[in-house]
Amino acid sequence: MMMEIKNILVPTNGGGADEEVIELACSLARKSKAKVYAVYIIEVERSLSLDTQVDSETEKAEKILTHAEDAAVDADYEIETDLLQARDAGPAIVNEAVERKIDLIIMATTYKKAPGIPELGKAVYYVLKEAPCRVLLYRDSIS
């Protein structure tokens, strides 16, 4: 049975795979006319109040989200973008998935060459463990 997708969440991180993930999300969404939400989470240090606006981080986030919007325009699909601040990205992504009734999270991850098992990052592990919906992990090519 084909799963029905109405809402897709794409957490962006500014990595090289962001554009491909947005294109993938758009192509998956197109069939069922699903909504695509791209989100960027600024992780705020615990020494600062959560609503502190760190200009350099906000500027970086704006650029990443604008890039995601551009990728969606190139894919000829409309997306919504959101900018969140949290202590950790993982819970923020899962919370966003619950609030927006997300059916599928597509997450880009970069394979970091390290001894032992691949290091995917704290947020990916959290989402894989806690997200109530389906999660699709997209690894950027090593080159």
Partner 1 sequence: MGTDWHPKLGDKFVRRPRAKAHPLRRALGVFGLFSAGYGNVGSSIYYALGLVALIAFGATPVVLLIAGIFFIFTALSYAEGTAMMPEAGGSASFARHGFNDLFASVAGWALAFSYIVTIAISAYTAPAYLGYFWQPLAEPVAGTFVAMGIIFFLMCLNIIGVKESSILNTFFALLDVITQIIIILLAILFIFAPHPEIFSHNVIGNWPSASGLILGIAIATLAYTGVDTISQLSEETRRPTITAPRAMILMIVVVMILFSGISVAAFSTMTPIEMASEWARDPIAGIAQGLSIAIVPEEIAAGLSSNPAGIIVITAFFGGILKLLPILVAVLATTILIIATNAGLMGISRLTFALGRFQLIPLTLSKVHHKFRTPYKPIILFSLVATLLLIPGFFAPNTFVILGGLYVFGCLFSFSMAHASILRLRIKHPELPRPFKIRGNIKIRGYDLPLTAILGVAFTSAVWLAVVITQPYARWVGFGWMAFGLIVYFAFRYRKRLPLIHSAQEVKLPVD
Pattern 84-123, partner 1, x by CB under 8 A: xxxxx--xx-xxx-x--xxx--------------------
| Shortest reach from residue 6's CB to partner 1, in Å | 9
Which 62-91 residues touch partner 1, going by CB under 8 A?
A: 62, 65-66, 69-70, 73-74, 81-88, 91
| 125 contributes a contact to partner 1 by CB under 8 A | no
Instruction: Count the Cβ atoms, other than its own, within 10 Å of residue 94.
Output: 22
Of the candidates 111, 132, 137, 139, which one interacts with partner 1 according to CB under 8 A? 132
Contacts of 69 (CB under 8 A, 6+ apart): 38, 79, 81
Q: Which stretch binds partner 1 (CB under 8 A): 10-18, 27-35, 48-56, 115-123?
A: 48-56
| Shortest reach from residue 36's CB to partner 1, in Å | 15
What is the distance of C-alpha 131 from the center of its chain?
13
Q: Across-strand partners of 123? A: none
Contacts of 123 (CB under 8 A, 6+ apart): 11, 41, 88, 89, 90, 93, 107
Instruction: Count the Cβ atoms, other than its own, within 10 Å of residue 69.
Output: 15
Instruction: Count the Cβ atoms, other than its own, within 10 Å of residue 22.
Output: 28
Q: How many residues bind partner 1 (CB under 8 A)?
A: 33
| Shortest reach from residue 136's CB to partner 1, in Å | 15
What is the distance of C-alpha 62 from the center of its chain?
14
What residue ranges bind partner 1 (CB under 8 A)? 42, 50-51, 53, 58, 62, 65-66, 69-70, 73-74, 81-88, 91-92, 94-96, 98, 101-103, 130-133
